[in-house]
Amino acid sequence: MKYVIALTVALLLGACGDKSASVVATEEVIATAAQEQVRGFVFSKWEYDIPDNAPECPEGLNITDEEFFPDEYAAVREEVKAHRGGRPEGATELLPVDACKDPGAMPDPGFKLFEGNVATVGLDLDGVNSTTAAGGQCAHNDFTSADGRAGIDYQYWRLMGCVSGMRPGGLYDRLFDTNNTILENGYSTLLEMKLTSGTPTDGKVEMRLFTSAGPVTRDANGKVVPDMSQLVHEDTMFHSAISRRDQGWVLTAGPVDAKMKFKVQAIDKLLLLPRPAHRANLLADGSMDGVLAGYWDGENIFDFMTEVYIGPVHLGRSAANNLGYQCAGLYHAIPRVADGHPDPKTGKCTSVSTVILFSAVPAFIIMPEPGRVSLGSE
Nearer to another protein, 328 or 375 (CB): 375
Applying CB under 8 A, does 35 fall inside the site for another protein? Answer: no
Q: For residue 47, report the phi and psi dihedrals to the nearest 5 degrees.
A: -165, 160
Q: Could you give the CA distance from residue 67 to residue 259 in angstroms, rounded to a whole number?
A: 35
Whether the CA torsion 138, 144, 145, 147 is positive or negative: it is positive
Beta bridge partners of residue 363, listed in sequence order: 228
Q: For another protein, which residue of 23, 95, 113, 171 counts as binding (CB under 8 A)?
A: 23
What residues from 190 to 229 belong to the interface with another protein (CB under 8 A)? 214, 217, 219-221, 223, 225-229
Closest approach, Cβ 256 to another protein, in A, equals 25
User: Residue 217's CB: how many other CB atoms inside 10 A?
Assistant: 14
Find how far residue 121's CA is from the centre of its chain.
Answer: 13
Give the range of 97-105, 120-128, 296-304, 364-372 binding another protein by CB under 8 A.
364-372
The residues, any chain, with a CB within 8 Å of residue 71's CB and separated by 6 or more, are none
Nearer to another protein, 42 or 352 (CB): 42
Applying CB under 8 A, does 32 fall inside the site for another protein? Answer: no
What residues from 3 to 22 belong to the interface with another protein (CB under 8 A)? 21-22
Closest approach, Cβ 25 to another protein, in A, equals 5
Closest approach, Cβ 282 to another protein, in A, equals 17
Nearer to another protein, 60 or 186 (CB): 186
Applying CB under 8 A, does 234 fall inside the site for another protein? Answer: no
DSSP 342-357: E-TTT--EEEEEEEEE
C-alpha closest to that of 51 among 4, 2, 5: 2
Nearer to another protein, 227 or 303 (CB): 227
The residues, any chain, with a CB within 8 Å of residue 114's CB and separated by 6 or more, are 54, 57, 157, 158, 159, 160, 161, 162
Applying CB under 8 A, does 141 fall inside the site for another protein? Answer: no
C-alpha closest to that of 362 among 287, 292, 291: 287
Applying CB under 8 A, does 25 fall inside the site for another protein? Answer: yes
Nearer to another protein, 350 or 374 (CB): 374
- DSSP classification of residue 358: E
Nearer to another protein, 136 or 222 (CB): 222
CB 268 within 8 A of CB 310: no
Closest approach, Cβ 215 to another protein, in A, equals 10
Q: Could you give the CA distance from residue 13 to residue 225 in angstroms, rounded to a whole number?
A: 21
Q: Could you give the CA distance from residue 375 to residue 226 in angstroms, rounded to a whole number?
A: 11
Applying CB under 8 A, does 132 fall inside the site for another protein? Answer: no
Q: For another protein, which residue of 52, 147, 202, 378 counts as binding (CB under 8 A)?
A: 378
Give the range of 41-49, 130-138, 161-169, 362-370 binding another protein by CB under 8 A.
362-370
Closest approach, Cβ 304 to another protein, in A, equals 29
Site residues (vs another protein, CB under 8 A): 21-27, 29-30, 214, 217, 219-221, 223, 225-229, 231, 364, 366, 370, 373, 375-378
